[in-house]
Structure 1
Amino acid sequence: MKNTIKKLTVIGLGGVGGYFGFKLANRYSNQEELSISFVARGETFEIVKKSGLTLLSPEHENPIAHPAGIYQQFSEIPDTDVFLICVKEYDLEKVCLELKDKIKTDTVILPLMNGVDIYERIRKVITNGIVLPACVYVASHIKEKGTVEHKGNAGKIVLGNDPKNPDYDAQQLVDLMKSAGIDIQYKTDAFPDIWTKFFFIASFGLVSARYNQSIGQINEVPELRERATLIMEEIKAIATRKNIAIPAEIIENTFNKAATFPYATPTSLQLDIQAKKEQTELELFAGAIMDYGKALELPVLESTRIYEEIKAGLIR
């Protein structure tokens, strides 16, 4: 199964959506080959509609790109072949409910989000269409409304086939994104990549949020390293039960990866907890582990414990 892609809509212009949305709008501006639209709200909508989307990145000399269209309401979005969902996990269900009526049998959804249960959560709401599991890496953030700043390595996407529609060929979408200068890798099964990333972001995110310590400190301080290890062991048990093809040395690999970050690097969950933000990715990490543990009848005592400590405000 393969369909011609003519219209693509990016939902959410945060660090991820802004980075990849800019690249697509920049490449396909005023092009008949592919029409790029954005969905944004409030001040971001007003700024981008008037002045375009700004990306501050060493990859682009011209920092402003204009989409073919920008919308505030999902009801306004024209027929779309591909939706890129680039929102925080706590907005995912709401977005899916609003998007549901726009999805046809051959509509493609590409979620560029953190978390191991994103595919399942989308499928609970949207049962038709094609959902491509994906893993995304990009160091970018909102500098101000309508402006995204990118530093470090080029953003990267790993996407895989939809388990529900394994015959769908995503190569045309991959080629269109590569033409926009996006580093994208297409695999039959993207879940090992998704889970490998989760080992790192969940364990280090939870421990850093609990103790307000950097990635380097978690690697170095025995108590913190032990707690991160216990969380990873619980994730590994879940992944094994779900037949995810992760390497046997995944925990050692995760600590080695952490050692490549600058010592004082914080995690986003740590920063959000310290800022006392009402909405964080705590449920994305510990909540998902606890849900899987319950469903698979696996003990996840350490993840539950650290979740309860953070919820109770037992943070340094």
Structure 2
Amino acid sequence: MQEIRTVWVMGLGGVGGFFGGQIAYYLHQHDDSRRVYFIARGQHLREIREHGLILRSNNENLICHPAGAAEDPGDFPVPDLCLLAVKSYDLQRSVQQINPYIHDNAVVLPLLNGLDIYDRVCRTLDYGIVLPACIYIASHIEQPGRVVHNGPPGRILFGNDPRFPEFDPEVLLAFCREINLDVSRVDDPCPAIWEKYLMVAPFALVTAARGKSFGEVLEDAEDNGCTAAIMQEIIRIGQKQGIELDMGFVAKTLAAAGRFPYNARSSFQRDLEQGRGKAEGDVFGATISRMGREAGVATPMTDKMMRLIRERFKYSW
């Protein structure tokens, strides 16, 4: 990777809006020779085109102007770096959309929480370097054109693409340091990806199934037990795959969740409750069940929560 001159951000929700907004704000202020382009849809796109993306980060408002914003990136210069920050149900369509424009040395950084995101991207993308990653951030779209971030700065951990062990990430890391983004490389990203999934997937399933916030789930002994049981199922699957996880992560993860705002709700839960017609059930419940079958690990609690969600929302997995 020689340099990063052109950045694409595919998906401007809480994650893409935070990182893409930070990049756009910095480049607009300091270096208009490098460009960031936003790929979004609907009213969100229209507001960004007219007013810029408004990013409220810990009560500070940043007005972030990309070099261009569109639903179809065909008129943009080809990217050196593409941040993929879409929902999992849009992932395949989004990768197909960018596929014609990704060259051999372009870096694609998927910012989705899931166990098989890297594999899903590589199955569809013909060229480019795909960096397996996980993301830590609390942010969401407040309304079209406006993203809200609370808490610690967003953080990304990534590892090298196993297909390109010779890839030197220093150009990417230097770019992120310049913009003051918290992005780090680790030798093996798998443990971090699985540990983050331990936090996201069980709470996504239980909060949606029970119709409760994080705090309500944690203070209810039965719901707390359901969440812990799903974590244990995920750990057993990971152990079968050689991932260094032990049951001590259950207590550690539940304790970490206790620091979340009491009324916090998972994005999966919000999508279902708001009747958006799409939700990330495949990357959460369905992936656990499938990987459990493949590994010979029973997943009764995951399957139970999936049944409850199906009945409550008429949701098809």
Separation of aligned partners in 1, 2:110 and 2:272: 25
Superposition pairs for residues 206-285 of structure 1, below 5 Å? 206-285=205-284
Residue aligning to 2:91: 92
Post-superposition shift, 1:122? 0.7
SS state of the match for residue 201, structure 2? helix
TM-score for the superposition, normalised by structure 1: 0.92
Q: Secondary structure of the residue that 2:230 maps to in structure 1?
A: helix
Q: 1:16 maps to what in 2?
A: 15
Q: Which runs of 5+ in 2 are unaligned?
A: none
Amino acid at match of 1:186: R
String of CA shifts for 1:205-261, please: whole Å, max 9, x gaps.
Answer: 111111112223322322212211221111001111222233551111111112222
Give the C-alpha shift of residue 272 in structure 1: 2.8
More displaced stretch, 83-92 vs 279-288: 279-288
Q: How does 1:186-225 map to 2 (within 5 A)?
A: 186-225=185-224
Residues 73-152 of structure 1: pairs in structure 2 closer than 5 A: 73-152=72-151
Q: Is the 8 A contact 2:133 2:157 kept in 1?
A: yes
CA gap 1:33/1:78 in 2 versus in 1, 3 angstroms: closer
Partners of 1:142 and 1:214 lie apart in 2 by 18
Task: Report how far residue 49 of structure 1 moved.
Answer: 2.1
Q: Post-superposition, which runs of at least 4 consecutive aligned residues in structure 1 deviate over 3 A?
A: 58-61
Q: Secondary structure of 1:312's partner? A: helix
Give aligned-pair identity as a percent: 33
Residue identity matched to 2:54: T
Query: Could you tell me how far 1:287 is from its partner in structure 2?
Result: 1.1
Aligned to 2:6: 7
SS of residue paired to 1:176: helix
Q: Distance in 2 between matches of 1:213 and 1:229?
A: 16
- Aligned-pair RMSD on alpha carbons? 2.0
2:289 and 2:164 map into 1 onto residues whose CA distance is: 28
Asked whether the 8 Å contact 1:110–1:132 carries over to 2, the reply is yes
Distance 2:92 2:183 in 1: 26
Contact map agreement 1:81 1:108 (CA 8 A) in 2: yes
* 1:72 CA drift (Å): 2.1
| SS of equivalent to 2:158 | strand
1-structure distance, mates of 2:264, 2:143: 22
Is contact 2:235-2:247 (8 Å) kept? no
Q: Matches of 1:71 and 1:78 in 2, distance apart?
A: 13
Mapped contact 1:210–1:314 kept (Cα < 8 A): no
Q: Which residue of 2 aligns with 1:299?
A: 298
Matched with 2:26 is 27
Change (3 A) 1:53 1:264: closer
Task: Report the number of matched residues.
Answer: 313
**2: distance between equivalents of 1:291 and 1:158?**
26
Which SS does the other structure have where 2:147 is aligned?
strand
Is contact 2:272–2:278 with CA below 8 Å preserved after alignment? no
Q: What's the secondary structure of 2:312's corresponding residue?
A: coil
The DSSP-based 3-state class of the residue aligned with 1:257 is helix
Q: Retained in 2: the 8 A contact 1:47–1:145?
A: yes
> Hey, what's the Cα distance between the residues in 1 that align with 2:67 and 2:254?
43
CA separation of 1:248 and 1:164: change in aligned 2, threshold 3 A: farther
Match of residue 39 from structure 2: 39
Alpha-carbon distance between aligned partners in 1 of 2:126 and 2:307, rounded to the nearest angstrom:
33
Q: Separation in 2 of the partners of 1:266 and 1:79? A: 37
Query: In the alignment, is the contact (CA less than 8 A) between 2:235 and 2:246 conserved in 1?
Result: no
What residue in structure 2 maps to residue 53 of structure 1?
Answer: 53
CA gap of 1:278–1:25, structure 2 versus 1, over 3 A, is: same
